[in-house]
Amino acid sequence: MTSVLYIDKNPINIPIIQEMFLEFKGRITLHVENEISSSLVFLEKDRQDVILFNQNILNKDDLSELEVFFVKFPEIPLIALSNIYNLSDALKIIKKGVQDYLDINRCNPDILINSILFAIERNKIKITHNNLNNDADKTIVNVKNPEEFVPICTNCKKIRNEDDTWERVEFYINKHYESKFTHGVCPDCLEKLYPNVHQKQKKFKPAIIHKKHKDK
């Protein structure tokens, strides 16, 4: 069952919209409020799936009243209705984040139900997208701003976790910062662990450099 809150100051519009919703009895519930303030009180007690509102509840030159819905109820999509369709007003309202803008005089039950269903799905996609962006931002922050102090063993260089267990540096970083390691041997360790290989490399590199220099 889809629940819809309808907000409208005009008493003539309300029965028109209620009649359209009779087509979907048993599938959609409709609750009517006349003011933004009473709508917010109602939504605190009974969250709805969609907010349908008439443009007449807004100050035409100031759409900031919509912000309260986006801040307090970001999971609920909004659809605007208007008795006088105006493209400029429609664009302003859509740019604010409202999902659709309908002309009451041209609206019918099919247009209304499609708008409601599409608005719900679009809002789900928007929320998922925002959540993914927020997760990505948190990951970037964590990588750029790791903990100020990371306890590390002075001898073996293992790092102590939050549960007081110790693990190798690469495992710790991979777990906390989602980085991956490849392994190699630095020149100092190569000389210590594999002196013969180190000596061969030392002899080999100058020869290559000399050859390149000679070719020039």
Q: Within a 10 A sphere around the Cβ of 26, how many other Cβ atoms?
A: 6
Domain that holds residue 20: 2-134
Q: Strands, E, within the chain: which ranges?
A: 2-7, 28-33, 50-54, 78-82, 100-103, 159-160, 166-167
Provide the number of structural domains found in the chain. 2
Whether the CB-CB separation of 198 and 191 falls below 8 Å is answered with yes
Sheet of 28-33: strand order equals 28-33, 2-7, 50-54, 78-82, 100-103
Backbone angles phi, psi at 84, to 5 degrees: -125, 105
Whether the CB-CB separation of 100 and 79 falls below 8 Å is answered with yes
**Is the same domain home to 113 and 10?**
yes
Tell which phi-psi region holds residue 90, choosing left (phi > 0), alpha (psi between -120 and 50) or beta.
alpha
State residue 207's pLDDT score: 45
Report yes or no on 25 lying in a domain.
yes
Report yes or no on 150 lying in a domain.
no
Q: What's the whole-model pTM score?
A: 0.60
**Is the same domain home to 120 and 191?**
no
**Is the same domain home to 96 and 53?**
yes
In terms of C-beta density within 10 A (0-12 exposed, 13-18 middle, 19 or more buried), how is residue 126 classed?
A: middle
Which among 134, 169, 184 is the end of a domain? 134
Mean of the per-residue pLDDT values of the chain:
82
State residue 213's pLDDT score: 46
**Is the same domain home to 168 and 78?**
no
State residue 42's pLDDT score: 96
**Is the same domain home to 124 and 178?**
no
Per-residue pLDDT band at 134 (split at 50, 70, 90):
low
Report yes or no on 66 lying in a domain.
yes
Per-residue pLDDT band at 44 (split at 50, 70, 90):
very high
Whether the CB-CB separation of 63 and 93 falls below 8 Å is answered with yes
Out of 8-12, 26-30, 86-90, 193-197, least confident range = 193-197
**Is the same domain home to 92 and 187?**
no
**Is the same domain home to 7 and 99?**
yes
**Is the same domain home to 174 and 211?**
yes
**Is the same domain home to 101 and 58?**
yes
Report yes or no on 145 lying in a domain.
no
Report yes or no on 146 lying in a domain.
no
**Is the same domain home to 11 and 47?**
yes
The single-letter DSSP state of residue 45 is: H
State residue 138's pLDDT score: 60
Hey, what are 127's tokens? 């929320």
Has residue 182 got a pLDDT over 90?
no
Has residue 124 got a pLDDT over 90?
no
Has residue 212 got a pLDDT over 80?
no
Report yes or no on 210 lying in a domain.
yes
**Is the same domain home to 45 and 126?**
yes
Three-state secondary structure string covering 92-146 = HHHHHCCCEEEEHHHCCHHHHHHHHHHHHHHHHHHHHHHHHHHHHHHHHHHHHCC
Report yes or no on 139 lying in a domain.
no
Report yes or no on 149 lying in a domain.
no
Hey, what are 185's tokens? 């041997």
User: How much of the chain, in percent, has pLDDT values that exceed 90?
Assistant: 41
Which among 134, 151, 176 is the end of a domain? 134
For the domain that residue 51 is a member of, what is the CATH number? 3.40.50.2300
**Is the same domain home to 33 and 119?**
yes
